[in-house]
Amino acid sequence: MRPQLADACGVARRPPAPASWARAVLVRSWLVALALSLCRCSFEPSYERPTAPIPARWAGAAVSGQASEPRTVQPSTVDWRKLFQDPHLTAVVHKALVNNRDLRVATASILTARAEYALARANVLPRVALNADVYVRGNLAGNVAQQHALQLGTTDFELDVFGRLRSLSHAALERYLASQAGARAVRLSLIAGAASAWLTVSAQRSLLTIAEQTEQNARESVNVTQSRFAGGVASELDVRQAETVLAQARSDVATYTTTLAQARNALMLLAGSEIDPADLPDELTDDTGLLREIPAGIQSSVLLARPDVLEAEHNLRAANANIGAARAAFFPRISLTALGGLVSAALSALVSTSAAGVGVTLAPSASLPIFTGGANEAQLAYAKAQRQLYLAHYERVIQRAFREVADALARRSTIDAQLAAQRALLTASTASYQLSDARYRAGADSYLNALDAQRTLYSARRTLVLTQLNRADNLVTLYRVLGGS
């Protein structure tokens, strides 16, 4: 019969059951461990975002037609779905986002980093396990004894008093966020690359058409000069000069046929699959309505939201957190093992706790590094050097981003004037060729003037297409360098 105990008021009470007492001790042990963990300190350096080593504004903003007081353009306002207005172009970009293998690699990197962060975060928390054991012993006399044991508790749980595990978890979190930003950078480059490749296909198709038309006109010129030569009106020199334009045009047709096929192959590689022929572009013209203008008024602070800049900053934060982990390695590591369980000779008695034996184990331990051969000092020096490395990388990424935007804005400020001049040149070249050809056919002028006019017209048409491509590609480049969404 259990003895009766009296409380402070003299009221008799029973002593706690063995299982209840073990559970209470175990719970208190975990509470103590949790309290020690919550009272931990951290040796991570205080992080402050480095000052961007770039001017606040781009030079030549007034020349590029921007407002005198620029506003900050958020990347969310530079959305490719709003920028790309041609439905066939958007269809190709959608296909690239679904099928491109580089983007899949970036996605897999995100999943890997997230799993690593989950592992690092799990080390901060105790691991509680339930163990059930059966021991069977026998002797030569045939006597068999069984013992059943059931234990619940945690083993080798490190109390993160000095923040080592928390710093490692913080570093893993920043690496995970860096992988997300890196995937955004890959996605951004993929969208811009697919758009540029699509525009290149359009330009190559236009150049091929121009070469084919020039070849046809040159063949007619050869026929005319041969007829005039046969009639004694033209010289053999006129015939040979006409043949040079024809041969050049035929060579260009072969060249542009090849480059058009290569441009299509590059586009299909970015898309990751076959592209519907209906989604391939037509010839590039002056007013295609393919792209919308990007809002003007841009401050350099917009660069801080670029994916590659964010990736560099998260890596810098991770390096900063690793310094805290390296500093904490100089201090003791305190761990705790707390187990509570039931022991019985029979399984039925083990389930019935009133007849089972009780066992409780509390084993705190501490390990203080005394001599490590300089390993801890070297690890701390390495962590600090890594922070300086990622700081320099962060500043370099910002400076590169600033130059990319500055170059794109400089091109934007002059491309419209160049395009207008190129249109005027084409108009003048067309009129000059028509007049020179008419004068030659009428016998009022030599074929040399008509030949020069024809070559000038051919060059002007090709240059206009390339200028149109540069203008469209400049808008795509601005979308990319501004960190569009």
- Per-residue pLDDT tens for 313-346? 999 999 999 999 999 888 888 787 877 777 676 6
Among 459, 452, 447, 413, residue whose Cα is nearest residue 432: 452
Residue 13 scores a pLDDT above 50 = no
Helix (H) or strand (E) holding 326: helix 307-328
SS3 content of the chain, % helix, strand, coil (to 5): 65, 10, 25
pLDDT on residue 12: 45
Whole-angstrom distance, CA of residue 345 vs CA of residue 136: 10
**Contacts with 378 (C-beta within 8 Å, 6 or more apart), sequence order:** none
Residue 23: is it exposed, middle or buried by C-beta count within 10 angstroms (0-12/13-18/19+)? middle
**Vertex 315, ends 311 and 321: CA angle to 5°?**
145
| Amino acid letter, residue 3 | P
| Whether the predicted pLDDT of 2 surpasses 60 | no
CA distance 293 to 265: 28
Q: Tens of pLDDT along 71-114?
A: 444 544 578 888 888 899 999 999 999 998 888 898 899 999 99
Query: In the predicted model, is pLDDT for residue 429 greater than 90?
Result: yes
Place of tokens 């047709």: 253
Check residues 297 and 301 and name the one with the higher pLDDT.
301
* End-to-end Cα separation, the chain, in angstroms: 77
Query: Which DSSP string do the residues of 103-154 spell out, in sequence order?
Result: HHHHHHHHHHHHHHHHHHHHTTS--EEEEEEEEEEE-TT--EEEEEEEEEEE
Q: What is the mean pLDDT of residues 187-192?
A: 93
Q: Are strands 333-344 and 357-367 parallel, antiparallel or unpaired?
A: antiparallel
Token pair recorded at residue 31: 């509470």
Contact 291, 476 (CB under 8 A): yes
Decide if 464 contacts 426 (C-beta within 8 A).
Answer: yes
Structure tokens at 47: 């992080």
Q: What is the mean pLDDT of residues 263-272?
A: 93
- Reference 195, options 43, 287, 330, 93; nearest CA is 93
3-state secondary structure of 338: strand
pLDDT tens figures, 354-366: 555 666 777 778 7
On whether the CB atoms of residues 248 and 432 are closer than 8 A, the answer is no
Rounded-to-integer distance, Cα 394 and Cα 439, Å: 65
Q: DSSP per residue over 381-448, as a string?
A: HHHHHHHHHHHHHHHHHHHHHHHHHHHHHHHHHHHHHHHHHHHHHHHHHHHHHHHHHHHHHTTSS-HH
Least confidently predicted of 23-32, 260-269, 279-288, 340-349: 23-32
Residue 234's pLDDT is 84
The pLDDT of residue 477 is 92
**What single-letter DSSP state applies at residue 356?**
S
Reference 479, options 419, 409, 375; nearest CA is 409
Output the average pLDDT for the chain. Answer: 82
Q: What does the pLDDT look like over 205-228, one tens digit per residue? A: 999 999 999 999 999 989 988 988
C-alpha–C-alpha distance, residues 201 and 28, integer Å: 72
* C-alpha closest to that of 284 among 421, 466, 133, 449: 466
**pLDDT tens digits along 402-414:** 899 889 988 988 9
Over the stretch 49-78, which tens digit does the pLDDT of each residue have? 888 787 777 665 433 444 434 444 454 457
Cβ count within 10 A of residue 432 = 18
SS3 157: strand
- Compute the distance between CA of residue 392 and CA of residue 398 in angstroms, rounded to an integer: 10
pLDDT at position 4 over 50: no
Segment 367-416, tens digit of pLDDT: 888 888 899 999 999 999 999 999 999 999 999 998 998 899 889 889 99
Average pLDDT over residues 278-282: 91
Q: Are 177 and 307 in contact (CB under 8 A)?
A: no
pLDDT at 146 over 80: no
At 398 the pLDDT is: 92
User: What share of the chain has pLDDT > 70, as a percent?
Assistant: 81
Q: What pLDDT does residue 137 have?
A: 81
Contact indicator for 369, 376 with CB cutoff of 8 Å: yes
**What token pair was written down for 250?**
């035929």
Q: How many residues in total does the chain contain?
A: 485
Query: What are the structure tokens assigned to 205, written together?
Result: 């198709």
- Residue pair 267/198 in contact by the 8 Å Cβ criterion: yes
**Domains delineated in the chain:** 15-44+129-159+334-367 (2.20.200), 45-124+160-332+368-481 (1.20.1600.10)
CA 128 to CA 118: how far, in whole Å? Answer: 17
User: Strand, coil or helix: what is 209?
Assistant: helix
More confident residue, 425 or 442: 425
Rg (CA), the chain: 39
Stretch 148-176: mean pLDDT, rounded?
A: 86
Give me the pLDDT at residue 476, please: 92
